[in-house]
């Protein structure tokens, strides 16, 4: 989801506007510089907070990264689930999910991909937490793919992985042009819809 959404989701129980500001600054830095390239000092300097005071708001860099990552996925999952809930047909549900995820990934201030692309840069314990949350997010797509009337010889796990890979890489190739984002989502679903081949 977006930087603001991650900061809101991550800071909803902590309350303070100052903490939210720190979360937004940290999210921007992580998105721009990555996990390794962002230090607590960078965050503190951008937020105008001295080192010791920063730890009053934030436990650690690792905890901050996990909180922002999870907040981004929480917001994305809620948005996709809401879009899917309006549809009854399995293919329409998949298309709604694809259109929502495409919008999320292509938002100018999207945080989901920059943070998900940093999995290899984080310590193992942090990576385990990120992967566990990502797996819970992907359960939404597992359920959508499980409901599709696909031929029995189609591996649903591979199907889902290829579909998500296509959607998650959209920011690498998408440019505003002849097709809108919903039209692209519809085309992706049409390509993946085997009963039309």
pTM over 0.75: yes
Least confident of 4-13, 27-36, 126-135: 4-13
Whether 14 shows a pLDDT value over 60: the answer reads no
The string of pLDDT tens digits covering residues 109-142 is 777 666 666 777 888 899 999 999 999 999 999 9
Give the domains, in start order, of the chain with CATH numbers. 3-196 (1.10.357.10)
Check: CB of residue 68 under 8 Å from CB of residue 130: no
Mean pLDDT (the chain) is 86
The predicted pLDDT at position 196 comes to: 52
Q: How confident is the model at residue 194 (pLDDT cuts 50, 70, 90)?
A: low
Whether 1 shows a pLDDT value over 50: the answer reads no
Q: Classify residue 111 as exposed, middle or buried by CB count within 10 Å of its CB (0-12, 13-18, 19+).
A: buried
Is the Cα dihedral 6, 12, 14, 17 positive or negative?
positive
């Amino acid at each position: 989801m977006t930087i603001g959404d991650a900061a809101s989701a991550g800071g909803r129980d902590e309350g303070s506007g100052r903490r939210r500001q720190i979360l937004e600054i940290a999210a921007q830095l992580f998105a721009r510089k990555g996990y390794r390239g962002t230090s607590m000092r960078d965050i503190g300097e951008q937020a105008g907070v001295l080192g010791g005071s920063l730890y009053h708001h934030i436990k650690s860099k690792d905890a901050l990264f996990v909180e922002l990552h999870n907040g981004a996925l929480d917001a994305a999952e809620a948005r996709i689930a809401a879009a899917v809930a309006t549809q009854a047909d399995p293919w329409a549900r998949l298309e709604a999910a694809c259109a929502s995820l495409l919008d999320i990934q292509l938002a100018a201030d999207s945080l989901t991909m920059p943070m998900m692309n940093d999995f290899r840069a984080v310590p193992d314990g942090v990576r385990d937490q990120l992967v566990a949350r990502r797996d819970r997010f992907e359960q939404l797509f597992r359920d959508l793919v499980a409901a599709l009337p696909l031929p029995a010889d189609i591996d649903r796990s591979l199907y889902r992985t290829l579909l998500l890979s296509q959607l998650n890489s959209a920011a690498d190739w998408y440019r505003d042009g002849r097709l809108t984002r919903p039209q692209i989502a519809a085309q992706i679903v049409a390509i993946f819809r085997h009963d039309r081949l």
